[in-house]
Structure 1
Amino acid sequence: MQSNNLSSAQFALYAPQVKRLWKYPAIKQAFDRRREYQLSDSVSYFLDNIDRISKPEFIPETKDILHCRKATKGVIEFNIYIENIPFLFVDVGGQRTQRQKWTKCFDQAVNSIIFLVSTSEFDQVLAEDRKTNRLEESKNIFDTIVNNKTFEGISIILFLNKIDLLAIKVRDTTTNIKWYYPEFTGNPHSILDVQNFILRMFHDVRNNTKTVIYHHFTSAVDTTNIENVFKSVKDSILHRNLSALMLQ
C-alpha cells in the first residue's frame, strides 16, 4: 500500500502511536467538536480500524472504500447497470469553484437530476468562507435547480444522505438543530422530527407545486439501503420516461 509519500512500512511503524493518541480523552473531545473545523466524518472509522488497515497484507473491503472521501472536481461520467438497464451518471463537483462547470452537463439529454444533501451538516459551515451553513447552502443550490425552467419536465430525485450520522448528532447533547434553525418546532432529539423538518425545508423551495420531487433518506455506507434506493430510482425514471413517450 502506498499513500502519498508514506510507505506501508512507515505507516505500520507509526500506527501504534496513532492508536494511542486516538484513545486520549482530549483527542476524542476534539473530534466531537469537528463541526467547528473541516474534519471528515470518516476519520473515526479509519482510526477505529487502524490495527487492521496498518497490516502489510491489508486489502480494502467494501466498507473501507465506502468510507473514503474525495471531493469531485470537474465533470465525471460513468455507466452503471441497474438490473441490466444501462444508466449514464454525470457527477459534478458541489464546491462553489466547480459549479460553473455544470453547464457542460446539459449539452446532452438529461432525464433526471439526483441531488445529494448531507443531512448531518446542519451545524457545519462551508470550507470556502467558514460562515455559511452547509445545509442552507445545499438548500439554496437546490432552489436554483428545482425552479430552473431548463429542468422543467425532468424528474428531480432528492437524496437526503448521511442519515446514520444525522442520527448520531440528534442523540448528541452538544449540538441541537434549534440552535441553527429556530423555526424548528419538533423534538430536536427525535430523528423522525429532524428528518421531516429537513425534507419540508427542501420541498418548500418549489415555486411550482406540480414539480415532482422524489425523495429518499440514504446512508452511502449502507449497501442494502443504497441498493434498494437505486432500484426505486430506476423504476421512477423509467416510469416517468415511459409516461412522456406515451404523451408524444
Structure 2
Amino acid sequence: MKLRLLRCLRQQPAKPAAVMTHKEDQYPVSLDHHVLKDMAKGVRDTTVKILLLGTAESGKTTIIKQMRILHINGFTDDERREKIPEIYQNIHESILQLVGQMGVLGIDFGSCTSERSADYILSLPGSAPEYMNEEYCDHVTTLWNDVGIRACYDRSNEFPLLDSAKYFLDNFVRISDAEYIPSTEDILHSRKITTGISQITFRVPIPKSMGGGEQQFQMYDVGGQRDQRNKWIQVFEGIQAVLFLISCSEFDQNLREDPSQNRLQEALKLFRAVWQNRFLASAGLIVFLNKYDIMERKIRAGKHIVDYFPEYEDFCKRPQQDNCFGESDWTKMFIKQKLVDITQEPFKRHSRNQVDLGTSERECYYHFTVATDTRCIRDVFCDVQKMILSENVSSMGLF
C-alpha cells in the first residue's frame, strides 16, 4: 500500500488554526495572523507539514527541540538562561514529589538529618525558588543522597514523577552553581506542560539524486493531555504526515489526570483514534516508539510488562525472532505488535470522525527512539526525511 504523502501541489487550502512561533515555550492558544496564513497556503507552496501527536510526556516537545538543534542554530546563551526557571521547577517538583510519597509508600528516611530536610522542603510553596540558596541546596542534596528517598525513587512508577527527575537531581550540584547556564542536554531533559499549539519551521537539503535544493518543513506540537486533545482538530487540515510518539517505558505507570488508567493502554487507545480519523486518512503515519532506554532500565531493575499486559506471556512464546535476544527486545516487539495489530483491525464508522471501513490504506512506519539523544534523532529523522522527500518527488511526477 502506497503511503500517500505530501500532495502539496494538489491539496485544498487548509482552515486557519492557532499556532505560535518556533519557540518551545507554551502560551494559551492565540491567533497570529501571519502564522495562520502560513498554514492556509496549502496549494501555494510545497512546505511539508508534520503534526506531532501522542499522550502527555511521550516526548513530542523534545522532538521539536531536537529539530531546532539539528536544523536551526540551537540555543543562544540568552535562550539557555531563559530555561533556568523551568529546570529549577523540574528539580523542585521532583524532590517535593519524592518527599511527599515517602509516607504514602511507608518508606522511612535513612537519618534524622534527612527528616529535617524533608520538613524544610515540605514547608516551601510549590513553585521553585528564584535562586538556589545554600540552605535549599544542602537540603536537596541531603535528601537525594538518602537511602529512603532512593528506595522511593525505585517505586516511582506508583506515582507521578518526571522522567528527568534522576537526571536533574544527579546533576544538582552543577545546576545549583551561581554561574549556571543550561547545557543542550539539560534543555532536552527539561519539561514544561504543553497547553497550546506550537510550530517550528526549518529547511533540509534535498539529495542531488532527487533534484537537489532544499525542502521546507513545518512541525506542529500540541498538548497531549486529555483536556488538550479537543484542540488537535485545528491543525489536522493541510497535514501531510503525522509523527505519533508513544512511550515504551510507561507500561507500568498510570495517567496523571486519571490514576486508574494505564499510560500505555491510553497511548494505544489514542493511536487507534488517530489511525481511524478521517481527517488524517491521507496523511502518512510514522511512529516513534520512544524512551526505550528507560524501558530497558526498568526491565533490568525487575519490572516486567507481563504484570500489566498478561497477553505478553503468550507473545513471547512465539518462535524466536532474529532481533529478539532478551526480555527488553521482546518487550519492544510486543509494544510494536500492539500498534501493528491496530492498523490491521477491521473497523466500522461509529462517529463522523472515523473513516469508513476499508478506506484506511496507508502504511505505518516504526522507529525506536530516545528523544533526548540527538544522534539517535538525527539518524532516525534522516530516514524519515528521505522517505518523505521520496514520496514528495513521486507525487510531483519527477520520477
TM > 0.5: yes
Matched, 1:115 2:244: yes
Runs of 4+ in 1 over 6 A off after TM superposition: none
Q: Percent identity?
A: 37
Q: For residues 5 and 158 of structure 1, do their structure 2 counterparts lie closer, same or farther at Cα, with a shift above 3 Å needed? A: closer
Matched, 1:239 2:390: yes
> Which one of 145, 148, 160 corresponds to residue 23 of structure 1?
145
Letter in 2 for 1:29: A
Q: Offset of 1:7 from its aligned partner?
A: 2.8
**Residue 82 of structure 1 contacts residue 231 of structure 1 at CA under 8 Å; is this kept in 2?**
no
- Partners of 1:190 and 1:184 in 2: how far apart? 11
Aligned to 2:188: 66
Q: How many residues align?
A: 244
> Which one of 375, 380, 385 corresponds to residue 224 of structure 1?
375
Deviations 1:162-189 (A, max 9, x none): 011011011121x210011111032896
**Residue 111 of structure 1 contacts residue 155 of structure 1 at CA under 8 Å; is this kept in 2?**
yes
**Residue 288 of structure 2 contacts residue 369 of structure 2 at CA under 8 Å; is this kept in 1?**
yes
> Which one of 173, 177, 202 corresponds to residue 305 of structure 2?
177
Q: Offset of 1:120 from its aligned partner?
A: 0.1
Matching of residues 187-206 of structure 1 within 5 Å? 190-206=327-343
Letter in 2 for 1:242: V
- Partners of 1:228 and 1:99 in 2: how far apart? 30
Q: Offset of 1:221 from its aligned partner?
A: 1.4
Matching of residues 159-178 of structure 1 within 5 Å? 159-173=288-302, 175-178=303-306
Aligned to 1:90: 220
- Partners of 1:242 and 1:46 in 2: how far apart? 44
Aligned to 1:8: 131
Aligned to 1:157: 286
Name the TM-score, length of structure 1 as normaliser.
Answer: 0.91
Matched, 1:48 2:170: yes
Other structure's SS at 1:226 match: helix
**Residue 161 of structure 1 contacts residue 219 of structure 1 at CA under 8 Å; is this kept in 2?**
yes
Q: Offset of 1:5 from its aligned partner?
A: 5.8
Q: Offset of 1:210 from its aligned partner?
A: 4.1
Other structure's SS at 1:6 match: coil
Aligned to 1:105: 235
The higher radius of gyration belongs to: 2
Highest relative contact order (Cα 8 Å, sep 6+), 1 or 2? Answer: 2
**Residue 159 of structure 1 contacts residue 215 of structure 1 at CA under 8 Å; is this kept in 2?**
yes
Letter in 2 for 1:90: Y
Letter in 1 for 2:195: K
Q: Offset of 1:22 from its aligned partner?
A: 0.7
**Residue 170 of structure 1 contacts residue 189 of structure 1 at CA under 8 Å; is this kept in 2?**
no
Other structure's SS at 1:8 match: coil
- Partners of 2:141 and 2:392 in 1: how far apart? 52
**Residue 236 of structure 2 contacts residue 280 of structure 2 at CA under 8 Å; is this kept in 1?**
no
Q: Offset of 1:114 from its aligned partner?
A: 0.3
Other structure's SS at 2:288 match: strand
Letter in 1 for 2:187: I
**Residue 111 of structure 1 contacts residue 237 of structure 1 at CA under 8 Å; is this kept in 2?**
no
Listed as ranges, the gaps of 5+ residues in structure 2 are 1-83, 89-126, 206-213, 318-324, 346-357
- Partners of 1:30 and 1:180 in 2: how far apart? 21
- Partners of 1:62 and 1:172 in 2: how far apart? 28
- Partners of 1:58 and 1:203 in 2: how far apart? 45
Q: Offset of 1:224 from its aligned partner?
A: 0.3
Q: CA RMSD, aligned part only?
A: 2.0
Deviations 1:166-220 (A, max 9, x none): 11011121x2100111110328962111100000101110136842111111001
- Partners of 2:336 and 2:284 in 1: how far apart? 17
**Residue 171 of structure 1 contacts residue 189 of structure 1 at CA under 8 Å; is this kept in 2?**
no
Other structure's SS at 1:144 match: helix
Deviations 1:119-157 (A, max 9, x none): 100011111110111111111111011122322231101
- Partners of 2:338 and 2:264 in 1: how far apart? 10
- Partners of 1:105 and 1:210 in 2: how far apart? 22
- Partners of 2:151 and 2:276 in 1: how far apart? 42
Aligned to 1:214: 365
Structure with the larger strand share: 1
Q: Offset of 1:6 from its aligned partner?
A: 1.5
- Partners of 1:163 and 1:85 in 2: how far apart? 30
